[in-house]
Amino acid sequence: MTLEILGITVLGVFLFGYIIVASIDFGAGFFNAFSTLTGKGHILTKVIQRYLSPVWEVTNVFLVFFFVGIVGFFPKTAYYYGSTLLVPASIAIILLAIRGAYYAFTTYGGLKHKRYTILYGLTGLFIPASLSIVLTISEGGFVTMKDSGPVLDYWALFTSPLSWSIVVLSLTSVLYISAVFLTWYAQKAKDRQAANLLRKYALVWAVPAIITAAGIIVEMKNHNPEHYERLVDVWWLFGLSLILFAGTVYLLWQRIAYGLAFWLLVGQFTLAFLAYGISHYPYLMYPYLTIYDSFTNQAMATALVIAFIAGLCLLLPSLYLLLRLFLFNKAYVQGDRDDHA
Amino acid sequence: MGNEETVFLSRVLTELTLSFHIIYATIGVGIPLMIMIAQWVGIKKNDEHYILLARRWTRGFVITVAVGVVTGTAIGLQLSLLWPNFMELAGNTIALPLFLETFAFFFEAIFLGIYIYTWDRFENQKKHLLLLIPVALGASFSAIFITIVNAFMNAPQGFDLVNGELVNVSPLLAMFNPAMPTKVAHVVVTAYMTSAFVLASIGAFRLLKGSNHVYHQKALFLTMKLGLIFSIATTVLGDFSGKYLAEYQPEKLAAAEWHFETEKGAPLILYGVLDDGEVKYAIKIPFGLSFLAHSNLNAEVIGLDQFNKADVPPLYIHYLFDLMVTIGMWLTALSLVYVFGTWRKWRFILAKWFNWLMVLGGPLAIIAIEAGWWLDEVGRQPWILRGIMRTKDAATTSGQVDTMLWLFAGLYLLLGIGSVFVLWRMFRSNPVEQELADRAADKAGDTK
């Protein structure tokens, strides 16, 4: 394995981690707001707050980790993406800030109002939409090289069917991932009412999620034939992913083994993410930037890999502790304990 | 938008984000240590008051941390968005501490989540205190790693530029640059100092406004003691920082001290104004600068005459320097008088006016932090990476920086108002007397 592959794998792991934990977080916020609006707030709010409160900062770190890491391993991305993403990334920061402010002022500060809950819920949809633009740009065709540097063509971006399909995919998968996880969590909390409602949401969003995912592969044929060819090459990974998807839906339908259903979903997204990543190789941005010509020097790469391994030795036990205390702790999940400062 | 304008706006936006973030960041680094000390004292003395102090500080702290996470994410991304050319170079040379910082922060975030949601979960308070150690360590190490990056911008090393190509990169050499020891120590210790004075402000304010509870007296005395210790440490480190500048960044020192001509036995200029290149109304301490820079009254100090005009930072940094040092000295004196006065039972330290001075201490300390960072950043101009890359060559070419500036200004305004409002509300409702009574009732209920 070359250092380049190792580097992109490390970043891929964190990006994938972010996609899963952030989806749960974003979707939870949305369902919370939605159920408040439709008068079902009492069913969901408690279980959602229980899960979200202790872990949201950790969610955010996955993202920070990814963008700091990518500049470390592939410094040229700072030049190409930094110059072009000013507006979309700034919007994403502001939306993330609204989310953070909600935790700060409402969860910790006790400032409660329906308006904030709704605003917070909406950011859960807008953040993935704005972040998904990065994926669209990486497919090429939206950035041109001028004398002054790379420039993003907003018109092309906003009129491209590909970019809108990716936005829709990000939304449907956020809601799907979140609903499946929360169904499991609610069941662990022995909150049957919430589990039933969330199960319904999960089933509702399953079909749109899979349809948009398939739709993007079709879009790719027009937009980036090179990438499309490579996507087709790894069809079997997508096939396996589809089987796991069917498994999750079956279990939810039958109301059995919600835990297994969630892990099948993680497997489904892992395979799809892997297939997408492999087919994207070696480009970071078609056609200007590959992982090879943007890679950092050997000394820095080695140092970063060592730091990563050392850091992981510190983080994995800590993450395990966090999960054990809140996610897999019966008394906490079922609401018998509060213990907040 | 012209390139010059974009550079200017990028600088304004970065300065705005950093100035706002640094308030939360400084508090975020210092307060975990203060909470730790209070909880530890509480366990040691078996005193409920200190434990409650730690608990109440924690409640306010999580709010500032949450806002700090947001502004920290903003500055982290803005570096790449506004200074893409710099970050490309930085990615190749100083990415290691940036990367390590995310680990430190990760570590902190995990344990903070655990700490705040496990009060009362443990029979033994000591176990709960243990959970705070990774929080405090993570917070301080975040500051250390990020300051290392800033130190590198002031004294880059650990790579060579041959025909525009980066060669011989050594990440460790880049991390352990000459600016690193003094800068890291100064940043971390002033964060502790500022946090202590901010918390002291709260205690002093409570004593002024209605409550004479011994809880607030204990809080005030503890924080003022800590403030004194850390301000003395800051003074010592400030002296080292001066010596570092004289050796490695003489133009910064000369500009901050208005030292125009190279000379032996140079005087130290305090305050004053600059009028047409002439210093007026200043206090001159003979041989002061030579002593400060080299610990030798007759040593030669390099003046601005040795530098190209294009390589010299703006001279207004002298005012920032004065502001920072004056506040630092004032807080040292204030805490010294208070701590000493408490031991000797001086009456006047209990007077209203003295309490007001302590209330002012917290905001003043924050102003000193701001002045210090502006001094550092403006004093490095015209370079973004001293001697290697100029600020004007590092900025983005995007034409939308002005709109982003307005957006972020609005965001920080809302976050600022929100955090002040929420903290104020928290402070006003649930007074400590009420909470102590509630806890006593709880306990009585338990034993029945």
A96 touches B: beta carbon within 8 Å: yes
Identify from A71, A116, A120, A145 which residue to disrupt to test chain B contact, counting B C-beta atoms within 10 A and taking the largest count: A71
Give the distance from residue A236's alpha carbon to the nearest chain B alpha carbon, in angstroms: 36
Whether residue B51 has pLDDT greater than 70? yes
Token pair 């911008």 in the structure block, residue: B153
pLDDT digits (tens, 9 = 90+) for B337-378: 999 888 888 888 888 888 899 999 999 999 999 999 999 999
Most confident of A205-214, B109-118, B209-218: A205-214
DSSP state letters, A149-175: EEEE-HHHHHH-HHHHHHHHHHHHHHH
CB contact under 8 A, B118 and A325: yes
For residue B1, pLDDT over 70 is answered with no
Contact B58 A341 (CB under 8 A): yes
| Chain B interface includes A341 (CB < 8 A) | yes
A–B: how many Cβ contacts below 8 A? 237
How much is the average pLDDT of B224-238? 92
Per-residue pLDDT at B446: 57
B1 CB within 8 Å of a chain A CB: no
List chain A residues with CB under 8 Å of B422. 104-105, 109-111
CATH assignment at residue A72: 1.20.1630.10
Rounded percentage of chain B residues whose pLDDT exceeds 70: 98
Nearest-CA distance from A84 to chain B in Å? 7
> What is residue B448's predicted lDDT score, i.e. its pLDDT?
44
Are residues B422 and A109, on separate chains, in Cβ contact within 8 Å? yes
Minimum mean pLDDT range among A140-154, A252-266, A303-317: A140-154
CB of B315 within 8 Å of any CB in chain A?
A: no
Which chain A residue has its CA at the smallest distance from B65's CA? Answer: A104
If you measure CA to CA, which chain B residue comes closest to A315? B107
Locate tokens 């010592």: which residue? B236
The enclosing H or E element of A119 equals helix A114-138
Give the tens place of pLDDT for each residue, A251-304. 999 988 888 999 999 999 999 899 888 888 888 888 888 888 888 888 888 898
The yes-or-no verdict on residue B2 having pLDDT over 70 is no
The verdict on a CB contact (< 8 Å) between A90 and B404 is yes
- Domains in chain B: boundaries: 1-179+397-448
A295-299, A332-336, B309-313, B344-348: which range is least confident on average? Answer: A332-336
**Cα gap B329→B340, rounded to integer Å:** 16
Residue A336: what pLDDT? Answer: 61
Chain A: closest CA distance from residue B215 (Å): 18
The whole domain housing A198 covers: 3-333
Residue B13 forms contact with A (CB below 8 Å)? no
Chain A: closest CA distance from residue B24 (Å): 12
For an interface test with B, the pick among A68, A115, A319, A324 (most B C-beta atoms closer than 10 Å) comes out as A68
- In the predicted model, what is the mean pLDDT of chain B? 88
- Closest approach of chain B CAs to the CA of A63, in angstroms? 9
Closest residue on chain A to B429 (Cα): A110
Block residue for tokens 């829709």? A168
pLDDT category, A154, cuts 50, 70, 90? confident
Mean pLDDT value of segment B372-398: 89
Q: Which of A108, A110, A321 sits opposite B66 (nearest CB)?
A: A108
**pLDDT of A133 over the 50 cut:** yes
CB within 8 Å of chain B, chain A residues 3-62 = 53-55, 57-58, 60-61
For residue A341, tell me if it sits in a domain: no
Q: Does any CB of chain A come closer than 8 Å to the CB of residue B106?
A: yes
* Average per-residue pLDDT for chain A: 85
> Closest to A61 (Cβ–Cβ): which among B74, B106, B398?
B106
What mean pLDDT comes out for the span A92-117?
Answer: 81
Q: Is B360 on the interface with A (CB under 8 A)?
A: no
Query: Is the CB of residue B17 less than 8 Å away from at least one CB of chain A?
Result: no
Compare all CA atoms of chain A with the CA of B66 and give the residue at the minimum distance. Answer: A104
Percent of chain A topping pLDDT 90? 13
CA nearest A148 in B: which residue?
Answer: B397
Q: How far apart are CA B101 and CA B173, in angstroms?
A: 17
Give contacts of A303 with chain B, Cβ < 8 Å: 96, 171-172
List, as ranges, residues 137-166 from A with C-beta within 8 Å of B. Answer: 148-149, 151
Chain B CB contacts of A339 under 8 Å are: 117-121
Total structural domains in chain A?
1
Residues of chain B with C-beta less than 8 angstroms from the C-beta of A311:
100, 103, 106
A109 vs B: CB within 8 A: yes
> pLDDT tens, B54-105?
988 988 888 888 888 889 889 988 988 899 889 888 888 998 999 999 889 8
Tell me the average pLDDT across A7-16. 89
Portion of chain A with pLDDT greater than 70, in percent: 94
Which of B7, B62, B77, B423 is the mutation pick for testing A, counting most A CBs within 10 A?
Answer: B77
Q: Lowest mean pLDDT: which of A185-189, B87-91, B227-231, B337-341? A: A185-189
Q: How far is it, in rounded angstroms, from Cα B414 to Cα B291? A: 46
ipTM for the complex shown: 0.85
B415 reaches A (C-beta below 8 A): yes
Give the other-Cβ count within 10 Å of B198's Cβ: 25
Note whether residue A339 is domain-resident: no
Q: Is the peptide bond before B382 cis (omega within 30 degrees of 0)?
A: yes
Q: Peptide bond before A317: cis, by omega within 30 degrees of 0?
A: no
**pLDDT tens digits, B393-441:** 888 887 788 888 999 999 999 999 988 888 888 877 777 777 788 777 7
CB atoms A100 and B66 under 8 Å: yes
Question: Quick one: average pLDDT of B118-144?
Answer: 87
How far apart are alpha carbons A61 and A232 in whole angstroms?
34
Q: Which residues of chain B does A297 touch, with a Cβ-Cβ cutoff of 8 Å?
A: 92, 166, 169
**Is the Cβ–Cβ distance between B193 and B369 less than 8 Å?**
no
On chain A, the residues whose CB falls within 8 A of the CB of B97 are none
